[in-house]
């Protein structure tokens, strides 16, 4: 991690502050990668089994996937809340 990145999070008191600094400092988000740890755990857990069934691992969703899920959740919620109202007025 470069000195600029360390300076940007040095005074962070919460994860919200760190996230805010990550949006302002290029490369900061990528420097906190947990991918090596995840791949090590996946490798170890992949060798385990329960009742002769091997454990199955799946990749975590990307940020774009999470945004799409959030959009669909909000869309479905709004449709359930206001969809009935608009159908009554259409008749």
Please tell me what DSSP assigns to residue 60. Answer: P
Q: Are 61 and 69 in contact (CB under 8 A)?
A: yes
- Write down the pTM of the prediction: 0.42
Helix or strand run (H / E) with residue 54:
strand 53-54
Query: How do beta strands 53-54 and 49-50 pair?
Result: antiparallel
Question: Which residues are CB-contacts of 60 (< 8 A; sequence separation ≥ 6)?
Answer: 38
What pLDDT digit, counting tens, does each position of 1-17 carry? 677 777 777 878 888 88
- Quick one: pLDDT band at residue 91, thresholds 50, 70, 90? low
CA triplet 59, 40, 54: central angle to 5 degrees? 65
The model's confidence at residue 86, banded by pLDDT at 50, 70 and 90, is low
Give the pLDDT score at 85: 58
């Amino acid at each position: 991690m470069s000195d600029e990145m360390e300076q940007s999070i040095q005074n962070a008191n919460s994860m919200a502050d760190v996230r805010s600094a990550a949006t302002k400092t290029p490369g900061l988000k990528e420097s906190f990668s947990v991918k090596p740890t995840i791949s090590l755990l996946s490798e170890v857990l992949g060798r385990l089994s329960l009742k002769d069934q091997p454990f199955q691992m799946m990749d975590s969703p990307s940020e774009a996937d999470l945004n799409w899920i959030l959009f669909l959740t909000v869309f479905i919620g709004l449709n359930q809340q206001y969809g009935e109202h608009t159908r009554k007025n259409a008749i």
